[in-house]
Amino acid sequence: MLYIFLLAIAIPLYLLNRYRRNKRYEEFWKHIMAIPGPQGSPILGTNNTLHTPESLFIRDRKRAVEYYPIFKLWSLDAAGVFVMSPDDIELVLNNSKHINKSLFYNFLHSWLGTGLLTSGGSKWHSRRKILTPAFHFNILQQFVELLNKETQILVDNLSKSCSQPYVDVVKPITEFTLYSIGETSFGVSLRDHPDCPSYKQAVYDFGHSFIYKGVRPWLWLPLIYKLSPTYRKDRQIVKTLHAFSTSVINERKERFAESSDGSYAERKRLALLDLMLKAKQNGADIDDEGIREEVDTFIFEGHDTTSVSICYTLMVLANEPVIQEEIYQEITSIIGSSDEPTYNDFNDMKYMERCIKESLRLYPSVPLIGRVVGENLMTKSGYTIPKGCNVNISFYDMHRRPEIWEDPEKFDPDRFLPDNVAKRHPFAYLPFSAGSRNCIGQRFAILEIKAVLCGILRNFKLEPVDTPADMKYKVDLVLRPAGEIRVKFVPRLVNI
């Protein structure tokens, strides 16, 4: 019965789509169909096979290899073009006319609203202006003590697992990054928050639903989606996510009100949530709903992306004992007998930073982003991406191209020595995107990764259980592993 209903919707849609192509969209589709890509079928186009998140990841990697540097996908009345070369990516990210996010970001609106990640135009500019001061280096310096504290708690917990054959690092690292973003950016302790477990599960559930809808074109149609069981599940997931962020805001609001005499502002620069509360108090263009949009965005972006990066870095360092030892020696030479590394200490850890960058090359936390082309774009390969088309920028595939990176699967931190960086295309390495919409929190992320690596490597030697070749992935909002990421933690005999 459901199939007949969907068919009754799809056939008129297909006929309407053909009419629109022959009239208004004729020029659009002429350019799209000239771009290489897999063979499509009527109505569903190239999205004519149901995939699991795991098989979808494999499919897209095969297409990236087969059609590099560009290929198209289309379904119903929507088209997307994947670009993977630095030249074409630069054309998109360096042009303010291509600043709006693509079709699939609409699936995030129920959770993140139109905050910094998903908004465009004047609203995006206004929010970016309000939020940028929250990531000033003076603020980051104040976060070091909190990050060291959370790192020590993590180290203590990992110490209890040293007798085990391995630790699946996903759970403890996710908790570390979630608690760290709560303490630093929101001024709230999440460690004993009763809804933390349900929030973490809801993040995973939302990502799964996001991909589920992405490969089922009929769910792109609002009427069909709202009649589906998926819609009802999504509403419950979003309810959980919003309840968590609202509780964080309310707790901080109470403390902020207590310091409304300005004493808090005099004591230190305002962090993210306080900055938004102060901006609203001063009449800026942000209300309670806007604050919740940004809190939702930064709780997710600030913990999930950094978490997967740390997990992959621990796994790859366990498989690179020589590199791991070199990082350890750098740490000991800089910190000496000090109990707590400082902001300047972290800045001096140049080899560690090169290792982090190399890990982010192989395992970019956000492997794919999307934009809408604001005007016709002629690619370096000679194809026209028409105005209004969705463009998917695949950092994961670009970061592993042999034309750009010699022996791309090899973990080699020396790729990021200054002389080697200077030889590369400036858009060949983009773990934090680029242009005006680059990641606002990238310096915070690097600082957090350095803090946790410093604490872990001072206390443990990492031994491999999973290898890079073992890693399986699934399409998600981040580069999500399909299974565990297992590492063996061995206590160091001499701990500074």
270-319, pLDDT tens digit by residue?
Answer: 678 998 998 998 898 899 999 999 999 999 988 999 999 999 999 999 99
CA of 355: how far to CAs of 308, 310, 408, in Å? 15, 11, 15
Q: What's the pLDDT at 266?
A: 40
User: From the CA atom positions of the chain, what is the Rg in Å?
Assistant: 23
| CA separation for the pair 452, 154 (Å, rounded) | 8
Q: Indicate the SS3 state at residue 4.
A: helix
* 355 marked as part of a ligand binding site: no
Residues 6+ apart with CB under 8 A from 458: 328, 331, 332, 335, 492, 495, 496
pLDDT (tens digit, 9 = 90+) per residue, 127-172?
999 999 888 888 899 999 999 999 999 999 999 999 999 999 999 9
Residues 6+ apart with CB under 8 A from 316: 359, 362, 363, 411, 468
> Higher model confidence: residue 227 or residue 413?
413
Candidates 431, 420, 298; CA nearest to 363 is 431
pTM of the model: 0.93
Candidates 454, 466, 456, 460; CA nearest to 162 is 460
**117-121, 164-168, 188-192: which is most confident:** 164-168
On whether the CB atoms of residues 168 and 484 are closer than 8 A, the answer is yes
Question: Any idea of the CA torsion for 144, 149, 151, 154, to the nearest 10 degrees?
Answer: -160
| CA separation for the pair 257, 151 (Å, rounded) | 30
Q: Residue 489 pairs with which residues in a beta bridge?
A: 462
